[in-house]
Structure 1
Amino acid sequence: MDQVSPQRKRAGRRPTIADIAKIVGVSKVSVSNALNGQPGVSEATRARIAEVAEEIGFVRNSAARALSGAKSSAVGLALARPARMLGTEPFFMELIGGIENVLSDASYSLALQVVSDHERGLEAYRRWWGERQIDGAILVDLREDDARVPALEEIGLPTVVIGHPSGSGSLTPVWSDDAAAIRETLEYLAALGHRRVGRVAGLTGLVHTSQRDAAFAAVCRELGLEAAPVIHTDYTGMEGARATRRLLLSPARPTAILYDNDMTAVAGLSVAQEMGLRVPEDLSIVAWDDSPLVQVVRPPLTALTRDIHAYGAHAARILLALISGEKSEGYEDAAPQLTPRGSTAAPPA
């Protein structure tokens, strides 16, 4: 049986009605009639056309667009996050803002869907691509052995992965050096005199979480620091508060805590103050991302600063280049830089 060339898929070619017609051995009109429920096609042929369409990733209600061959002038982003969190999570709001800024200048739109998990996200990407609703995609929250990567490679969807090249396969990555940021932070805390540092981390299984975990452990060993437990969270304020309580109630209470995002850091500040600890006199706190959220609390939080808006803009520019047929090896953004503020100081004597 004839098949659509995998090489052509990887080049970003969508399955078309012509592909189905060639495989089944019928005309394109017959395929269109079958996919749209029109008469003039036997039931056996209709079933065979539907079977082939599914096999090669062609979605039935894409028939009209497939005949025209027009671009959609849209890119897709599926976020596995509770919808109510997006308005309070500074990272994704800034990231989406940067993406939208570049897309709008190019007369492109962003198809955004909030999903319950990565499997549902992959279904969205497949549907959008098969229905010709998008010309490319942005992939976030890269997981170890992420099933989305080979799946998007297989269907030939032009994709930019916001994540480290080690997990992006042949897809184009945009990333920053989180290990360098961990090192700068721990060296700074060690210089202040801290010997016991805790960490409130993000979701397990994410590539960037694993890389931060590994860097944190390695640099603590190198500097002779006592690493307090690393507690993983879902990035929410509630989880950040719980993790902070666990660390501060432990027998070997840390004198400094590094958080993986701003929401958990601000929640940690509130918990420390509720427990009667002074920040920074009794506890130093370092946030990650440096959104306005950490600058308006008291004391303002020391943070790892990066331009998230520009991060999203870089991803969008590279994706538009891929859609236009250009090649890209990816882009390493600047590593987050430490911005000291009022939440860090020497540990208590």
Structure 2
Amino acid sequence: MPATSDGARPPRGTPVGLALVRDAEVLGAEPFFHDFIAGMERVLVPLGVPVLLQVVATVSQAADRMRAWARHGQVQGVILIDLLPGDERVALVKELGMPAVVIGDPVTAGGLPAVWTQDDVAMRDVVDELVAAGHAHLGHVAGPAQMAHTIIRRRTFQAAAAGRGVRTTTFEGDYSEAAGVRALAALAALGDRPTAVVFDNDVMALGALHEAGRLGLAVPADLSLVAWDDSALCQLAVPPLGAVSHDVQELGELAGRTLADALVGAPAATVNAPPARLVVRGSV
């Protein structure tokens, strides 16, 4: 079955590229990208289009990698993810004439095809559910502050909480387990700490869960913890972590289909992935 909307197929053999700005150690512990790439490959590999992953340390290195790919004809298109507001990579792929798909909101995508996970909808819903459960002080441990989707989640969290008349405390993290440990330790030192905390990925939530146990805080009696993405790690934790849950492999499939369309010249469009939803488990 063809993966593109009009039945056309991209050229076989030449990869699509993903230049991912991540610390290699953090990436190794993060299930999200393993599932995301698996979903992409489920669509693209049957079309004869492999996925080429390059892990780099900075945005400028990612841009340099994409220039090299274009110069040597090594890829026929790229996936852009974890973009910053006004990200130079959006202008770069337009300059290079390289088909690209942004995993992010349409504003950040700057007219490129985009697959948007509707993080604002998901964050608003999880705040509403936590407030309805009786929490009057909420915490948020966000990802890197400069990322566009982090900004959207943080602003939505604060606006939704203010609209419901509850207090907030926020921390910045880097998606690592250590960031979750640091945030939980800082939170525990507060005289009036939040009673529920939302984390921007699973690994930070797991770090916080382990640190809560070390500090003698009972989860969820003393503190409710909510992860984001809902990998198998959440279900294996003790207690199992409640999570803002979505199908990451399905997101990868949407990205793969949207990029396959872009490779054959389909008009740019924004595809909204189904919003994530809160799955309540033993930590909530």
Structure 1 and Structure 2 fold alike (TM over 0.5): yes
Please state whether the residue corresponding to 1:87 is helix, strand or coil. helix
Please state whether the residue corresponding to 1:309 is helix, strand or coil. helix
User: Which residues of structure 2 form unaligned runs of 5+?
Assistant: 1-10
Mapping 1:58-69, distance limit 5 Å: none
Corresponding residue for residue 51 of structure 1: none
Per the TM alignment, residue 86 of structure 1 is displaced from its structure 2 partner at its CA by: 2.5
Letter in 1 for 2:162: R
Mapping 1:1-349, distance limit 5 Å: 73-228=14-169, 230-344=170-284
Per the TM alignment, residue 180 of structure 1 is displaced from its structure 2 partner at its CA by: 1.4
Q: Are the counterparts in 2 of residues 72 and 132 from structure 1 also a CA contact under 8 Å?
A: no
Please state whether the residue corresponding to 1:288 is helix, strand or coil. strand
Per the TM alignment, residue 149 of structure 1 is displaced from its structure 2 partner at its CA by: 0.8
- TM-score, structure 2 length as denominator? 0.94
Q: Are the counterparts in 2 of residues 161 and 174 from structure 1 also a CA contact under 8 Å?
A: yes
Per the TM alignment, residue 327 of structure 1 is displaced from its structure 2 partner at its CA by: 1.8
Letter in 1 for 2:26: M
CA separation in 2, counterparts of 1:83 and 1:276? 32
Q: Are the counterparts in 2 of residues 72 and 134 from structure 1 also a CA contact under 8 Å?
A: no
The number of residue pairs the alignment matches comes to 274
Per the TM alignment, residue 328 of structure 1 is displaced from its structure 2 partner at its CA by: 3.3
CA separation in 2, counterparts of 1:113 and 1:239? 24
Deviation string, structure 1 residues 127-178 (Cα, Å, up to 9, x no partner): 1112111110001111111111111111111000111111111211111111
CA separation in 2, counterparts of 1:224 and 1:209? 22
User: Computing the radius of gyration over CA atoms, which structure comes out larger, 1 or 2?
Assistant: 1
Per the TM alignment, residue 120 of structure 1 is displaced from its structure 2 partner at its CA by: 0.5
Q: Are the counterparts in 2 of residues 141 and 162 from structure 1 also a CA contact under 8 Å?
A: yes
CA separation in 2, counterparts of 1:102 and 1:264? 30
Q: Are the counterparts in 1 of residues 111 and 268 from structure 2 also a CA contact under 8 Å?
A: no
**Higher deviation after alignment, 112-121 or 179-188:** 179-188
- TM-score, structure 1 length as denominator? 0.77
Letter in 2 for 1:159: A
Alignment RMSD = 1.2
CA separation in 2, counterparts of 1:200 and 1:327? 37
Per the TM alignment, residue 240 of structure 1 is displaced from its structure 2 partner at its CA by: 1.3
CA separation in 2, counterparts of 1:330 and 1:135? 20
Per the TM alignment, residue 241 of structure 1 is displaced from its structure 2 partner at its CA by: 0.8
Deviation string, structure 1 residues 211-266 (Cα, Å, up to 9, x no partner): 011101111111110112x1111100011110111112112211111100000001
Per the TM alignment, residue 72 of structure 1 is displaced from its structure 2 partner at its CA by: 5.2
Q: Are the counterparts in 2 of residues 318 and 328 from structure 1 also a CA contact under 8 Å?
A: no
Q: Are the counterparts in 2 of residues 76 and 137 from structure 1 also a CA contact under 8 Å?
A: yes
Percent sequence identity over matched residues?
A: 39
